[in-house]
Amino acid sequence: MVVNKTKATAAKASLKYINNGMTIGLGSGSTMYYFLEELGNLVQSGLHIEGVPTSKRTEKWALDFGVPLTELARDTVIDVAIDGANQVDENFHLLKGGGGSLVREKIVAASAKELIILIDDSKCVSRIHDADLPVEVLPFGWEKTAMAIEQQGYDPILRYKDGASFISDNGNYIVDCHIRTLEAPLKVHQQFKKLTGVVDTGLFIGMADRVIIGKEDGAVEKR
Ligand code: 5RP
pLDDT digits (tens, 9 = 90+) for 175-192: 999 999 999 999 999 999
Catalytic, out of 38, 50, 59, 105: 105
Ligand 1 atom 4: residue of nearest CA: 84
* Residue-level pLDDT at 187: 97
Q: Clarify whether 136 is annotated catalytic.
A: no
Ligand 1 atom 14: residue of nearest CA: 97
Report the separation in Å between the CA atom of 140 and the middle of ligand 1, taken as the mean of its atom positions: 26
Exposed (0-12), middle (13-18) or buried (19+): which is 90, by Cβ within 10 Å? exposed
Mean predicted lDDT score pLDDT of the chain: 97
Report the separation in Å between the CA atom of 14 and the middle of ligand 1, taken as the mean of its atom positions: 16
Predicted confidence (pLDDT) at residue 162 exceeds the cutoff of 80: yes
